[in-house]
Structure 1
């Protein structure tokens, strides 16, 4: 037995000695082996689905958000094991031979510099050379060559020395190239927005939530279960802490691409809404503003824009004001008060009410109309048309002024305005509408004309949309359908919140009052259209309840059109204008009018508008976006050849228009005069320039001459100008056919 124990002791000593040896002498070797052999089956993301808008001009789908593939490229500059048949064993050899490395290094570094020289933090050829030499010296297996590489760049890199090689067929070179075995390619994707920054917060952006960097808000977030697809699985090798690369190109379980989402947004109306809003904010030096256009019958949101001034004085969509900002609406809430009083039989449109200024018993302050203008005794309907605070307050005081009855006013209002969230199909925080206490006489009266209550612009628009929809309230919608491979697999039908918010006769009276606001009241700026508008203006004071704070204003207009057969409802809100104009009828109404004119124009049947053939004119345009020009010519009934380039120029060819592809040099400033500001910004920002502009119309001049070298991150100033009207001479740019 003693011999057995002795043998066991010797074995144990041997094991311990071996462990010590491995932990000391061969420590680095085995660490490297573990590093090289760390292979796991890991999941990888699927291609996220697209988000589309519609194009009202032709019914096509236009991309709002899509995933674009991008790549990281690694180069193996170390040694790997290779079986030697002569020695009948594995030997270590350079993955990239000495000859290949030394002969191709300079050319590779020059090629990389030329390709990425406009990228931030790019290396010079000399820096690339030192970088690769140092990694070669350390025998590093996975050396990053470049990241965020486009598909086009990836193809070009196959022709670079060391990392690519030409394919030969029967001993003759072909025009095809592949990567060498020393290259490891890692594919990922990035979300791009072709119409950025249009509807930026509504479409959704990538946000970090609880450490998750692939989370989205807006439509992208709300419909992530459709868009995200199903992850795939593949073998990956760990190259650095937190960094993995695929072992091979074969996927064990293929990823399933996400479905596509069709939003309710109309890109043409979205562009118009944003440009009209931006112009108003600039002209009045306002702090922020929003505009929402909704389809009456369905609740589809056709346009939504939110602009807030930033620290640099630029208006950007940094928050979704229309959905997430809650504030006191002001006079636009008088319609709710009027509906309640009329529907409950507590008042009639012919009731006479005072105007101007009035001290109500129990109120801390007198109630005043704008400008304290006294119109004498007028009808309740007329008081609403001119937006008299005193007139509305008088009826509320008469019916709810008793202290025991004041809280009933609050309860009665809640029967007509839904103080509940809309639970929208979009990942944006929506606050609950609030209505304060009406026990205090001052609060009771101020509540009647839009204070002591809070709501979002979209919540208020939903109420007005119900008036336009014969009393039926529908939920606002941002998505209409889901697509798979271009085929509709799911349709979202309109959701009815309430079949009727009031009696039909009450709705009719309110409708006539809102028409009167435009014809004879505070909305007179919207008067004179061929289609008719009905709505209500509002002006709310901001900071009225705070001492030592100057009072500012929030101007709004909310309504619908065509007035007698409503198809669309719209709200415009402008906050804290610094110029003299502060009232909703002056500030917000023009934005409403711009949008309504465009939309109402599209409602007219084109077939009813006839013009002689010899009045048709072929437009000659400077180079611009191919899709826009192709669609424009198509709408005019002109034959065009399918564009093969993103940017084109147009040329007459008899009764057709020839589209000529235009090449824009990436290292030279292009000539953008004559372009729309959207096309000019798209071209210049893609080249790394920051763009600022002033004026309106098309680009008339640019601060950096065309043909100048690109200064990465430089700023170019564009001056916009509308073309002068020429009525006494024939335009040189058109030709009668």
Structure 2
């Protein structure tokens, strides 16, 4: 019995053990299956999810690539002068893992060499060289003379792991010339401003690469295949700018700012009257494109880099700000030409229509002529334009009507962007729902704001037969072989006025310059047509003085807009502040463009250099003076053939006008002959010049009309023969 029970217990134990074993096997199988599923799932995840990333990592582990920088395209002016070009420099980089395997030199020695040649901090370079990476950038835009020293160091010391790749740096041969139009690039050669930004897609090109195979340790294989993907250089750009015309405009603008004590700078735009292509664009203050992030003049800021947000904000609000397209202003009386165009096109008035400049009241607001103390009274409409009578233009606008008036405003392009290539163009400001009073003051250019470039495009429509043409700075995109990739043809937006109206208005505006308020812009032989303007701003005693016109009036070649912001000199009127400088621009620019003067006119300032007369006898000296077209006075004895010239004034080499005078001395004077400067301010030009010449003085004059400034104060004694600078202006029109 006991034996049977024992056997049974044994059997039960075995059954129990077998069951436990099976359970353990099942659990073990389940674990194995689970592990297998995890492995399979992870493998699938790697295969399908991480595949691309791992391929890239494997490629990077087995290959090393270095960038070949594309050369940025060159920017030319319309005459082929280089305005912006990329010059050759180098980028220095290292592979620390390769560099550290050099057996004949230490990373400390390499760091010392690089820091010395490149003028960089030793510790920072050393830190990069000790990393376990394939690539570290050391320096960009390295001059070739410096990279050549590093090449020599690599060769002499058999150093592996230092790489020198060709790169380029932007260089602007003319410095600050046309800075706002051309623009500049960043360190990565990407356009940041001006045409460099707006045409970046054409100029930039496509970078290339050098691919090299590596071993497991990250070292270049000794016989590895090196693959190159060559860079594609950027296209070149031919602009409409003319460097010679730009220089003229910039020089005159700087002179105007100084003479008129402008607080807020000035603008000058010169455009082709027929195509609206921009020949020159000046916005002052400006900046040197080669040092675009330099601290603006007049500021002192600690820690200035030109890179901080505060630095960039200051640059954008001062020297980087292109007033020619970004700023808006009230055009003042220059807008009267637009109102006149509307009136002639709508046939609401004729040139001989009798009008008057008596005050007109609109919604309780009385509008007077600028000459309200001495009103012009009854006059023809043509005379009213010459006299720039505000009430006449108000009454004319009432005949045109609000709806039609603002349709013309939009048609002339004042409510839309001009379309010029540059970024950041300002938006004009008009009343959303203009009233009769709004239109009345708008008729003479007040209480709305436009951009200078919009005004240039509108006046071009007056000059070219009635077509609004989109302003442009770009003539063509070409490749390195000179093939034209894209030709920028002038884009006509719409016809605004008829050719008949355009013809009439050109003659009217020529009369404004010859007989009206813009006489200070008159240039003999060049038939300048235009209008002056003076507008108030929201700030007390801050004005905007402007002139805009074109020449020659019968067949316009160029349109010139000249604006001086916040003049603080003797006058703030556009007729006296802007028109005289527009005159200088017209005269110099038209001469530079080889436009012939009409009729028998010629430059009334023909200058000569005074010859050296020392040692000549009197007869030969006077003969030589006459051959130069000069006059003379002799101090001392002239008797005898052996009497010679011992002293002269002005001295030889001095530039004076052709009818000037030279004072000759037949002895060495202990004291020179002097004369007293009389009071000349307010006198007319003929009287002033005759008075000074009668005193034995030379005259360097600017402008016409009444004398407003004399170089020397009245009562000052000056040496006979002295050149006296005199400024003349027509002051009878305060417009």
Aligned to 2:467: 472
Q: 1:371 & 1:112 partners in 2: Cα distance?
A: 75
Q: 1:472 & 1:551 partners in 2: Cα distance?
A: 37
Q: State yes or no: 1:493 paired with 2:486.
A: no
Q: 2:433 & 2:114 partners in 1: Cα distance?
A: 74
Q: 2:370 & 2:224 partners in 1: Cα distance?
A: 76
Q: How does 1:238-253 map to 2 (within 5 A)?
A: 250-253=226-229
Q: State yes or no: 1:587 paired with 2:577.
A: yes
Q: State yes or no: 1:281 paired with 2:257.
A: yes
Aligned to 1:570: 560
Change (3 A) 1:255 1:439: closer
Q: How does 1:482-561 map to 2 (within 5 A)?
A: 482-489=477-484, 490-499=486-495, 501-504=497-500, 506-543=501-538, 549-561=539-551
Aligned to 2:194: 218
User: Could you tell me how far 1:568 is from its partner in structure 2?
Assistant: 0.8
How many equivalent residue pairs?
536
Q: 1:439 & 1:603 partners in 2: Cα distance?
A: 43
Q: How does 1:77-92 map to 2 (within 5 A)?
A: none
Aligned to 2:84: 65
Aligned to 2:349: 347
Aligned to 1:95: 101
Aligned to 2:682: none
Aligned to 2:279: 302
User: Could you tell me how far 1:259 is from its partner in structure 2?
Assistant: 1.1
User: Could you tell me how far 1:303 is from its partner in structure 2?
Assistant: 0.5
User: Could you tell me how far 1:442 is from its partner in structure 2?
Assistant: 2.7
Unaligned runs of 5+ in 2: 1-21, 43-56, 215-222, 287-294, 300-314, 602-607, 610-719, 723-735
Aligned to 1:51: 75
Change (3 A) 1:536 1:250: farther
Aligned to 1:687: none
Cα deviation, 1:226-282, whole Å, max 9, x if unaligned, reads 2233343554899xxxxxxxx999454322111111011111111221222122123
User: Could you tell me how far 1:348 is from its partner in structure 2?
Assistant: 1.5
Q: 1:417 & 1:77 partners in 2: Cα distance?
A: 64
Change (3 A) 1:554 1:207: farther
Q: 2:503 & 2:189 partners in 1: Cα distance?
A: 52
Q: 1:202 & 1:590 partners in 2: Cα distance?
A: 25
User: Could you tell me how far 1:581 is from its partner in structure 2?
Assistant: 1.9
User: Could you tell me how far 1:372 is from its partner in structure 2?
Assistant: 4.7
User: Could you tell me how far 1:53 is from its partner in structure 2?
Assistant: 1.0
- Asked if structure 1 preserves the Cα contact closer than 8 Å seen for 2:550 and 2:560, the reply is yes
Q: Which has the higher strand share?
A: 1
User: Could you tell me how far 1:66 is from its partner in structure 2?
Assistant: 2.6
Residue 323 of structure 1 aligns to a residue whose secondary structure is coil
- Asked if structure 2 preserves the Cα contact closer than 8 Å seen for 1:540 and 1:553, the reply is yes
Cα deviation, 1:344-388, whole Å, max 9, x if unaligned, reads 221122223333x62415332433415754222222212222322
Q: How does 1:3-42 map to 2 (within 5 A)?
A: 37=61
Q: State yes or no: 1:180 paired with 2:159.
A: yes
Q: State yes or no: 1:450 paired with 2:450.
A: no
Q: 2:71 & 2:136 partners in 1: Cα distance?
A: 26
Q: 2:105 & 2:324 partners in 1: Cα distance?
A: 61
- Asked if structure 1 preserves the Cα contact closer than 8 Å seen for 2:355 and 2:378, the reply is yes
Q: 2:135 & 2:408 partners in 1: Cα distance?
A: 68
Residue 530 of structure 1 aligns to a residue whose secondary structure is coil
Change (3 A) 1:512 1:70: same
- Aligned alpha-carbon RMSD (Å): 4.6
- Asked if structure 2 preserves the Cα contact closer than 8 Å seen for 1:353 and 1:395, the reply is no
Change (3 A) 1:205 1:338: same
Aligned to 1:165: 156
Q: 2:721 & 2:481 partners in 1: Cα distance?
A: 48
Change (3 A) 1:234 1:112: closer
Q: Structure 1 length normalisation: TM-score?
A: 0.63
Change (3 A) 1:250 1:111: closer
Q: 1:43 & 1:79 partners in 2: Cα distance?
A: 18
Change (3 A) 1:521 1:456: same
- Asked if structure 2 preserves the Cα contact closer than 8 Å seen for 1:340 and 1:412, the reply is no
Q: Structure 2 length normalisation: TM-score?
A: 0.63
Q: 1:249 & 1:206 partners in 2: Cα distance?
A: 36
Q: 2:282 & 2:135 partners in 1: Cα distance?
A: 46
- Asked if structure 2 preserves the Cα contact closer than 8 Å seen for 1:263 and 1:479, the reply is yes
User: Could you tell me how far 1:559 is from its partner in structure 2?
Assistant: 0.6
User: Could you tell me how far 1:515 is from its partner in structure 2?
Assistant: 0.8
User: Could you tell me how far 1:328 is from its partner in structure 2?
Assistant: 2.1
Residue 360 of structure 1 aligns to a residue whose secondary structure is strand
- Asked if structure 2 preserves the Cα contact closer than 8 Å seen for 1:562 and 1:600, the reply is no
User: Could you tell me how far 1:68 is from its partner in structure 2?
Assistant: 3.3
- Asked if structure 2 preserves the Cα contact closer than 8 Å seen for 1:269 and 1:303, the reply is yes
Aligned to 1:634: none
Aligned to 2:669: none
Residue 77 of structure 2 aligns to a residue whose secondary structure is strand
Higher gyration radius (CA): 2
Q: State yes or no: 1:323 paired with 2:315.
A: no
Change (3 A) 1:727 1:149: farther
Aligned partner (choices 329, 332, 335) of residue 333 of structure 1:
335
